[in-house]
A and B are shown apart, each in its own frame.
With several copies, the nearest count.
Chain A
Amino acid sequence: MTTTTANTTPLDVAAVRADFPILSRTVRDGKPLVYLDSGATSQRPVQVLDAERRFLETANAAVHRGAHQLAEEATDAYEDARAKIADFVGATPGELVFTKNATEGINLVAYAMGNAATDPGRAVASFAVGPGDEIVITEMEHHANLVPWQQLCQRTGATLRWFGVTEDGRLDLSNLDELITERTKVVAFAHQSNVLGTVNPVEPLVRKAHEVGALVLLDACQSVPHFPVDFTALGVDFAVFSGHKMLAPSGIGVLYGRRELLEAMPPFLTGGSMIELVRMEGSTFAPPPQKFEAGVPMTSQAVGLGAAVDYLNAIGMDRVAAHEHLLAERALTGLAEIPGVRIIGPPDTVDRGATVAFVVDGVHPHDAGQVLDSLGIAVRVGHHCAWPLHRSCGVPATVRATFYLYNELSEVDALVNGVREAQRFFGVA
């Protein structure tokens, strides 16, 4: 994401910050909050909070189940949100399934593929997974895009394979033709790493996967919130992202699937609202997306995610990306100047987001994080649900700062100063 600010007016960060009530609170004995953990979860603007509350105070009802006026209004609000969100990622509403988070979306695909083996319906052959079949992921995946595939392999006898990571934190595609073969059923990978910040090249992976008839699942958790993404243009088969990382409520995520795949894929969670006909002896199912939305859904949360999309659209995703680019640049430069600090991930801003992980010689990440916390700076420490990646980078844990549209350049400086403070406190500088 090498978007430049050349042809857009820069983001008015002060105006943005005023929309986020939590950013004006203090922590640890009166320190202003410096929130650099949006990669874990973002904060919510009043526009999103108000949209959800307005819905709950005026139109709340069970959607797709009632015929009274509230039920109509609730259903409209829910489906309008779906249409808006679909548009945001270059998809049509029928290609968007609401899940509780991205993790459920990936599990949905993995389980549905496992279910294809016993499905009496018209499951397409490409779904059924068994011994001899292979699932290909990468070593930089979040556990959410790793463990479900391990489990699918365990249940079905398929084999898990993976791309490695280069020294400078890029995907090592040198063995592309060895890894993606006629045996490959799915290629699943992160659009942007939640640790390295690396933005992975989608095109060569999609091309190769489709060449051998494999499906591609894109983990877009760290891309959709941060730069313009169009799933149709990218040509992926499935994609997932979470609302809570893009200013929206927790408890809602999205699975995108190409329409014909969602049509053919067997269901995952079953129950109310996803059926066509139910008899004690057996049931048939509704068309997608309903087929994959069992039970009373996350109604107000969908409305909130719709409002978050409105908010981001009003600012413009190009502008968000450009602002984050500046923040990443400042952080990479500032941290690189500190002796004993090592960036885990690409050192420059080429194809890279504003996620900056690092280690400090002689100061354990937990301890560095504690010093930063005492200064009011919220970062995340640990393996960030990417344990194998940390092992491959030769570190048990890292400190990770993640930036979003509401972060200021001065907050980057606070981080850099805080790291120096941690070195002083632990006597390594």
Chain B
Amino acid sequence: MTVNLESMYQEIILDHYKNPHGRGLRDPFDAESFQVNPTCGDEVTLRVKVTDGKVSDVSYEGQGCSISQASTSVLTDLVTGHTVDEALTTMDAFVELMQGRGNIEPDEDVLEDGVAFAGVAKYPARVKCALLGWMAFKDALARTSNEVEA
């Protein structure tokens, strides 16, 4: 087994992959988003419940590789219980990390288990995997606020 393989598949990632957190679609929810990765067919359906300005629940279902599944699991840990603003800040930090081509030093205070994905950022073709759940979260959240506004 090779060095670069271990830099991508950190133990944390494999743990989340094997034992995903918060998996399964739950009620009640405010908005749902379905996202698909057109190059490999991986997909995720993700629901968001916002209560008093806080992300009170994130639930999801999907099929995909270890990276997409683990990053969605990490997502639920990072945003659940936080305000919408905090969740968006975390999301921005994660997206920035993933698009940084491995040149960005992740902030463990913000990203917690998410720092394990730093190695994935070196593999452009896998970045989309790591972002799949986050794109669903962003989209669902936008729909929530649309509904709130409407």
Direct contact of A and B (CB under 8 A): yes
Contacts of A65 in B (CB 8 A): 39
B145 to chain A, nearest CB (A): 21
Asked whether A366 and B67 contact (CB < 8 A) given A371-B5, A397-B41, the answer is yes
- Does residue B66 face the partner (Cβ distance < 8 Å to A)? yes
Contacts of B89 in A (CB 8 A): none
- Does residue B129 face the partner (Cβ distance < 8 Å to A)? yes
Contacts of B28 in A (CB 8 A): none
Contacts of B1 in A (CB 8 A): 374, 421, 425
* A387-B65 Cα distance, complex, nearest whole Å: 17
Task: Please indicate which of the listed interface residues B36, B39, B63, B65 has the most CB atoms of chain A within 10 Å of its own CB.
Answer: B39
Q: 8 Å CB contacts to B: which residues of A388-429?
A: 390, 396-397, 421, 425-426
Chain A binding surface, main DSSP class: mixed
Q: 8 Å CB contacts to A: which residues of B101-145?
A: 123-126, 129
Contacts of B66 in A (CB 8 A): 364, 366-367, 426
* A365-B41 Cα distance, complex, nearest whole Å: 11
Contacts of B14 in A (CB 8 A): 426
Asked whether A374 and B4 contact (CB < 8 A) given A276-B36, A277-B36, the answer is yes
Question: Number of residues in A with C-beta < 8 Å to the partner?
Answer: 33
Contact, CB under 8 Å: A67 / B2? no
Contacts of B12 in A (CB 8 A): none
* A374-B125 Cα distance, complex, nearest whole Å: 14
**Chain B interface bracket (under 10, 10 to 19, 20 to 34, 35 or more):** 20 to 34
- Does residue A194 face the partner (Cβ distance < 8 Å to B)? no
Instruction: Give which listed residue, A371, A374, A397, contacts B40 with CB less than 8 A.
Output: A397
Instruction: Give which listed residue, B3, B9, B40, contacts A365 with CB less than 8 A.
Output: B40
- Does residue B64 face the partner (Cβ distance < 8 Å to A)? yes
Stretch of A82-90, A116-124, A184-192, A375-383 lying at the B interface: A375-383
- Does residue B25 face the partner (Cβ distance < 8 Å to A)? no
Mark interface residues in B4-32 (1 if CB within 8 Å of A CB, else 0).
Answer: 11001100001000000000000000000
B15 to chain A, nearest CB (A): 12
* A276-B41 Cα distance, complex, nearest whole Å: 9
Mark interface residues in A151-169 (1 if CB within 8 Å of B CB, else 0).
Answer: 0000000000000000000
- Does residue B86 face the partner (Cβ distance < 8 Å to A)? no
- Does residue A286 face the partner (Cβ distance < 8 Å to B)? yes
* A381-B129 Cα distance, complex, nearest whole Å: 13
Contact, CB under 8 Å: A364 / B64? yes
Q: 8 Å CB contacts to A: which residues of B18-66?
A: 36, 38-43, 63-66
Contacts of B39 in A (CB 8 A): 64-65, 382
> Residue of B at shortest CB range from A387?
B41
> Residue of A at shortest CB range from B8?
A370
Contact, CB under 8 Å: B124 / A76? yes
* A67-B126 Cα distance, complex, nearest whole Å: 7
- Does residue A72 face the partner (Cβ distance < 8 Å to B)? yes
- Chain B interface (Cβ within 8 Å of chain A)? 1-5, 8-9, 14, 36, 38-43, 63-67, 123-126, 129
Interface contacts beyond A67-B123, A366-B67: sample of 4 additional A-B pairs, CB < 8 Å, sorted by A:
A276-B38, A383-B41, A396-B42, A421-B1
Sampled A-B contacts (14; CB under 8 Å): A28-B2, A28-B4, A29-B2, A31-B2, A67-B125, A72-B123, A75-B124, A277-B36, A364-B65, A365-B65, A366-B66, A381-B40, A390-B41, A425-B5
- Chain A interface (Cβ within 8 Å of chain B)? 28-29, 31, 64-67, 71-72, 75-76, 275-277, 286, 364-367, 370-371, 374-375, 381-383, 387, 390, 396-397, 421, 425-426
